[in-house]
Structure 1
Amino acid sequence: MAARHAIDRAVIATDLARAQSEFHRLLARAERHGAWDQRTNGTHWTNEQLLFHMVFGYMVVQRLLILVKIMSRLPDRISRGFAAALNAASRPFHVINYYGSCAAARVYNRRRMGAKMDRVAAALKRKLSRESDEMLHRGMPFPTRWDPFFKDYMTLEDIYCYPGQHFDFHKRQLAIGSCD
């Protein structure tokens, strides 16, 4: 069995705090530039919809943590089969992901998404602080067609790191004025 690396929870927690703080700066910039309804770069979403989608990445992680904890205890063939089934359903997933973010941005709109990001980031930091190293090393196969940052096999540690990658990728697609 390969030696396990040490998990630095502080690095993960710092990244959660960074994204949370940066998200509030992005919201303020969108407000200053009146850029909520402007189309983003490389997506069909508006800035407001994409900003929600960025928060949604953190919301999804809350559910993925539960999924990995359950699936990592099952026989490998079951979790591999589950990942394969999800990969097979990637086309409808992308449609639902797009329209779901469009609709959800109406609920978690510019006035509510900052507070939602704060609550979700705080919850993830609390959960992270309570995870054992053993649990953070547990993992499962993942549907790589669902997201460019999903790997064939992801540990709970990888899941905690995922939303920052997703956030940074989509941040570059926002069209909300200069970096002031």
Structure 2
Amino acid sequence: MKPTEIRAEMRRAQAEFEQMTRTANPQAMRRATNGTRWTNRQLLFHMVLGYGVVRTLLPLVRALGRLGHSTGFARVLDATRAPFHVVNYLGARCAGEVVSPRAMTLLLARLVNGLDRSLTTDADRGRLGLAMHFPTTWDPYFRSTMTVLDVYHFGTQHFDHHRRQLTLDG
């Protein structure tokens, strides 16, 4: 994908998220999702968290991409997948009950705006091709090696995957 396409898909996801949180009633937010143990509200928080993961991963990919020593790091992360999945599940479950849909929308806007700016900077500085090894057992969209550009794309892949699991419309 090109940076312009990634930017457009992030903005599309942001607009969809805002629409969903604005139109979903409290009953729909409490409804179970399709294929997860979360409610719609909890899954919505998890979807926002995906963009937070992108923001967290980018400095790591830039640094390890320059150093070229990320295979061992990816193996260590793969070995810790069980506690990661527990924290991931419980974090979204708890935060999804505490953080309001309006606050989630604002957080997503802040994340997307920041990612948009850093995507421009990474493109200008020629960093989009830096790559590192990834823990492939953490997420179905993590590949064994990912570039900075791939990590930007991951946020919306993750969003779209979970968007299909929402049951806001009944």
Q: Work out whether the TM-score is over 0.5.
A: yes
Deviation at 1:137, TM superposition (A): 0.2
Match of 2:55 among 62, 84, 87: 62
Contact 1:108 1:116 (8 Å CA) reproduced? no
Superposition pairs of residues 25-40 of structure 1, within 5 angstroms: 25-31=19-25, 34-40=27-33
- What is the distance in 2 between the residues matched to 1:108 and 1:57? 15
Q: 4+ residue stretches of structure 1 with deviation over 3 A?
A: none
- What is the distance in 1 between the residues matched to 2:140 and 2:157? 10
Deviation at 1:128, TM superposition (A): 0.6
- What is the distance in 1 between the residues matched to 2:64 and 2:94? 30
Listed one character per residue, the Cα deviations across residues 131-180 of structure 1 (whole Å, up to 9, x for unaligned) are: 136310001000000000000000000000001110010001011116xx
Contact 1:39 1:175 (8 Å CA) reproduced? yes
1:155 aligned partner: 147
Deviation at 1:108, TM superposition (A): 2.6
Contact 2:21 2:102 (8 Å CA) reproduced? no
Backbone CA RMSD of aligned residues: 1.5
- What is the distance in 2 between the residues matched to 1:48 and 1:106? 7
- What is the distance in 2 between the residues matched to 1:161 and 1:75? 21
Deviation at 1:18, TM superposition (A): 0.5
Q: Does 1:88 align with 2:79?
A: yes
Matching residue's letter, 1:47: N
Aligned residues: 169
Deviation at 1:53, TM superposition (A): 0.3
Contact 1:13 1:125 (8 Å CA) reproduced? yes
- What is the distance in 1 between the residues matched to 2:68 and 2:4? 32
TM-score, normalisation: structure 1: 0.89
- What is the distance in 2 between the residues matched to 1:18 and 1:75? 34
Whichever of the two has the greater Rg, that structure is 1
After the TM superposition, which of the residue ranges 42-51 and 124-133 deviates more from structure 2? 124-133
TM-score, normalisation: structure 2: 0.94
2:165 aligned partner: 173
- What is the distance in 1 between the residues matched to 2:100 and 2:89? 16
- Which structure dedicates a bigger proportion of its chain to helix? 2
How high is the sequence identity, in percent, across the aligned residues? 44
1:106 aligned partner: 97
After the TM superposition, which of the residue ranges 129-138 and 103-112 deviates more from structure 2? 103-112
Contact 2:132 2:147 (8 Å CA) reproduced? yes
Match of 1:10 among 4, 8, 25: 4
Q: Does 1:24 align with 2:18?
A: yes
- What is the distance in 1 between the residues matched to 2:126 and 2:132? 14
- What is the distance in 2 between the residues matched to 1:108 and 1:72? 35
